[in-house]
Amino acid sequence: MRSAEVLDCHVLVIGSGGAGVRAAIEASGYGETILVSKTLAGKGGCTTMAEGGYNAVLREEDSCGIHFEDTMKGGAYLNDPELVSILVAEAPQRINDLLAWGAVFDVTDSCDVAQRPFGGQTFPRTCYAGDRTGHEMMMTLIERLASTNVEIENEVTALDLVREGERVVGALCLDGKGEVMVIRADATVLATGGGTQIYDISTNSSSGTGDGFAIGYRAGAELIDMEMVQFHPTGAVYPYDARGRLITEAVRGEGGILRNAAGERFMSRYDPERMELSTRDVVSRAIATEILEGRGTPHGGVFLDVTHLPRQQVEEKLPVMLEQFLKFGVDIREEPMEVAPTAHHVMGGLRITPDAGTTVPGLFACGEVTGGVHGANRLGGNALADTQVFGKRAGESAGRSPRRDSCIDPKAIEAQEERLAAFLDGQVPPSTVIRSLKTAMWEGAGIFRTEAGLNKTLGVISHLSSLRLLARTRENLAECCTAQNMLLSASLVVRGAILRKESRGAHMRKDVVQTWDARNSPYGHTYQSLDRSGIETAVRS
C-alpha cells in the first residue's frame, strides 16, 4: 500500500457551496480549517445556480412569526419547529453578513434590499440579485473566504468519514489523480448539498449526487424524511439534453402565467387563491397532471408566459432566463417558455440539532444535506437562507469543539484502498449504472408514487448496486464512488417513501387513502440509519 498523504486541522468542512463556504468562514475564526471541494471552490454546488432569492424578514409589515407560519404550512408541518424558528430569526442577520462583505442585492429607490413575492408567502420577502441571487452570494462568500486562512483543497473528492470509536475524526478523500488523501480533524462539517442527480430530470449541478447522504449514513448518522424530494414545477423541456434546467420561480414571482396547450390558465382548478404562486408541490402536481391528462405542449410541458410583462422588467429582473432561452432559440419577451417539473431539492437529510450537530459525535452538517428545516416541501427562497443560517451555526459549533488527540486508523485507509482497488478490476462503467438509476428513479419514485412502484425501484437499485463498477484509471475512481453514493442515496429516498404511508407535501402516495390533513397527520419524521429505520408516530401538538 502506498503511504497516503495526511493533513491535519481543527475543522474539516466538506463541500464548497453556500453552506460549506459559510461554515468554513466561521470555523476559521477558531482554528486551522480545511475546505474540501469536489470542484473548484465557488463553482460547484447548487448555490451558485440558485436564481430566485433569499427569504428574510426585513420590513416592519412582515414578521418572523409570519415567516415561521408560511414555512411550516409550506412544509406540511413536518418541519422541525425549532430549526424553523432559528431559520427565520437569523436569516436577516446572515443577509447582513453578506451585505457587509460586499454582496450586491437589488435595492429599492429608498435604498432598502428589494424583495419580491415567491410561492407560499403571505408577504413578499424574497431578496434577490436579479435572477442570479445564488451566484451573487457565492461570489461574495468566495471573496470573504479568500480573506481567511482557510486551506482549500480544490477538486478533491471526499470518500468516507473516519471514526475513532463513536466519534468522527476526519475523512478519507481522493485527489485529482485518484490518490488517497487523509485528513484528520477535531470536528468535521458535512455540507455536500443535495442529490437530485439521482433522477433523470434534475436541476442540480454535477455535484448534486447525494454524496453527503451516503457518507453520513455509512458513518452511522441518522437521516430523516429522505422521501421528501422537491420537484420544482418549472424546468426546461427541450432541447433534450437541457431538460430539467431550472426556470426560476422568480418568473412567476414577477408575474409569469402558466397555461396548458389549450391556453387555459389551469392553476385556477388546483389553487384558485394562490394560482401560480402556490407552493411548489402543488404547482408541480398540477403541471404533471395537465401533461399526464393530455393537455401538455408538443414538447411535453406546459406554457409559462411572461410576454405580457414590460420587456424592460424581463431584461432587468430575469436576465439569466432571457440569456439562456435566447441561447436555445426562444425569446421569452416574444414567446412563452415550455416547462415541466424537475427534481430540485432533497428536503430530507441528516438529522441535526439547533447547533447543527448530527447524531454522530464530531460530525456537524448544514445546508441541503440536512433534514428537518423544510419539512415535506421547501418554500422557494428558504434554501439560500438555510445555507447561511445553518452554515454559520455548523462552522461555529465545529470551531468550538475541543481539540483532541485522535488518529486515523490505518485499517480504515487499508479498507478504502481495497474498495478502490476493486474498481480498477471492475466490469461495468459507472455511467451505465447511473443512467439506469436515473430512469428507474424518475419512473418509480417521482412525483406520484405507489408502494408497488417503489418496491420495483428498490429492486432495480439493489440489482445495480450488485454490479462491479469499473474504473479504467485511478482518475476514474471518483466516478465509481459517486455512482455508489447515488445508489445509496436513491435507496434512502425509496425506503423513506415506502415507510411513509401517507401523502404529504412533496410526497404523493397514490395508493394510500388518508383521512387526515397535514396538520393532523399521525406521522412524524421517517428515520434511517445503519442501526434502525422507521417512522415516528408521536402525536404532534
- E-strand stretches of 20-166: 33-36, 54-55, 115-116, 126-127, 151-153, 157-164
- Judged by beta carbon, residue 48 or residue 297, the one nearer another protein is 48
Interface characters, 447-476, with another protein (x: CB under 8 A): -------------------------xx-xx
Q: Which of 80, 90, 136, 249 binds another protein (CB under 8 A)?
A: 136
Q: What gap in Å lies between CA 153 and CA 350, rounded to an integer? A: 24
Going from the C-alpha of 215 to that of each of 76, 86, 167, 288, the distances in angstroms are 28, 26, 14, 33
Please confirm, yes or no, whether 344 is among the known catalytic residues. no
Q: Indicate whether 146 belongs to the interface with another protein (CB under 8 A).
A: yes
Stretch that binds another protein, among 6-14, 42-50, 275-283, 491-499 (CB under 8 A): 42-50
Alpha helix segments (H runs only) across 147-201: none
- Judged by beta carbon, residue 238 or residue 448, the one nearer another protein is 238
Interface characters, 315-354, with another protein (x: CB under 8 A): ----xx--xx--xx--------------------------
Q: Closest separation between CB of residue 531 and another protein, Å?
A: 35
Q: What gap in Å lies between CA 233 and CA 278, rounded to an integer? A: 10
Q: Closest separation between CB of residue 244 and another protein, Å?
A: 9
Q: What gap in Å lies between CA 395 and CA 20, rounded to an integer? A: 8
Listed residue (472, 161, 131) closest to 321, CA to CA: 131
Q: Which of 1, 5, 59, 112 binds another protein (CB under 8 A)?
A: 112
Backbone phi and psi for residue 527, each to the nearest 5 degrees, phi listed first: -140, 145
Stretch that binds another protein, among 336-344, 345-353, 428-436, 494-502 (CB under 8 A): 428-436
Q: Annotate 97-131 with three-state secondary structure.
A: HHHHCCCCCCECCCCCECEECCCCCCCCCEECCCC
Q: Which of 1, 6, 29, 40 binds another protein (CB under 8 A)?
A: 40
Q: Indicate whether 427 belongs to the interface with another protein (CB under 8 A).
A: no
Q: Which of 15, 18, 20, 42 binds another protein (CB under 8 A)?
A: 42
Annotated catalytic residue: which of 67, 116, 132, 232? 232
The answer to whether 58 touches 127, Cβ cutoff 8 Å, is yes
Q: Indicate whether 481 belongs to the interface with another protein (CB under 8 A).
A: no
Q: Indicate whether 107 belongs to the interface with another protein (CB under 8 A).
A: yes
Listed residue (244, 179, 197, 182) closest to 485, CA to CA: 197
Omega within 30 of 0 (cis) for the link into 336: no
Q: Which of 24, 49, 221, 373 binds another protein (CB under 8 A)?
A: 49
Q: What gap in Å lies between CA 417 and CA 499, rounded to an integer? A: 35
Instruction: Give ∠ CA 23-27-30 in degrees, rounded to 5.
Output: 170
Q: Long-range contacts: 462-465, Cβ < 8 Å, 24+? A: 462/491, 464/433, 464/436, 464/437, 464/440, 465/491
- Length of the chain measured in residues: 541
Stretch that binds another protein, among 77-85, 135-143, 353-361, 482-490 (CB under 8 A): 135-143
Please confirm, yes or no, whether 345 is among the known catalytic residues. no
Q: What gap in Å lies between CA 306 and CA 315, rounded to an integer? A: 11
Cell of 477: 475512481
Strand-pairing partners, residue 187, are: 11
- Judged by beta carbon, residue 43 or residue 419, the one nearer another protein is 43
- Judged by beta carbon, residue 431 or residue 462, the one nearer another protein is 431
Q: Closest separation between CB of residue 208 and another protein, Å?
A: 10
Host H or E run for residue 246: none
Total binding residues toward another protein, as defined by CB under 8 A: 57
Cell of 58: 426585513
Cell of 137: 452570494
- Judged by beta carbon, residue 44 or residue 399, the one nearer another protein is 44
Q: Indicate whether 22 belongs to the interface with another protein (CB under 8 A).
A: no
Interface characters, 150-179, with another protein (x: CB under 8 A): ----x---------------------x---
Q: Indicate whether 240 belongs to the interface with another protein (CB under 8 A).
A: yes
- Judged by beta carbon, residue 423 or residue 523, the one nearer another protein is 423
The answer to whether 380 touches 53, Cβ cutoff 8 Å, is yes
Q: Which of 25, 56, 113, 389 binds another protein (CB under 8 A)?
A: 113
Q: Starting at the earlier edge strand, list the strands of the sheet with 126-127.
A: 54-55, 126-127, 115-116
Q: Indicate whether 420 belongs to the interface with another protein (CB under 8 A).
A: no
Residue type, 538: A
Q: Indicate whether 39 belongs to the interface with another protein (CB under 8 A).
A: yes
Q: Indicate whether 242 belongs to the interface with another protein (CB under 8 A).
A: yes
End-to-end CA distance of the chain: 56
Q: Indicate whether 206 belongs to the interface with another protein (CB under 8 A).
A: yes
- Judged by beta carbon, residue 222 or residue 479, the one nearer another protein is 479
Q: Indicate whether 96 belongs to the interface with another protein (CB under 8 A).
A: yes
The answer to whether 156 touches 144, Cβ cutoff 8 Å, is no
Q: Closest separation between CB of residue 152 and another protein, Å?
A: 9
- Judged by beta carbon, residue 243 or residue 259, the one nearer another protein is 243
Q: Indicate whether 6 belongs to the interface with another protein (CB under 8 A).
A: no
Q: Indicate whether 135 belongs to the interface with another protein (CB under 8 A).
A: yes
Per the listing, cell 482549500 goes with 152
Stretch that binds another protein, among 237-245, 250-258, 484-492, 499-507 (CB under 8 A): 237-245
Annotated catalytic residue: which of 252, 285, 378, 500? 252
| Enzyme catalytic residues | 232, 252
Positions that interact with another protein (CB under 8 A): 39-40, 42-44, 48-49, 96-97, 99-102, 104-109, 111-113, 129-130, 132, 135-136, 139, 143, 146-147, 154, 176, 205-207, 238-242, 245-246, 319-320, 323-324, 327-328, 429, 431-432, 472-473, 475-476, 479
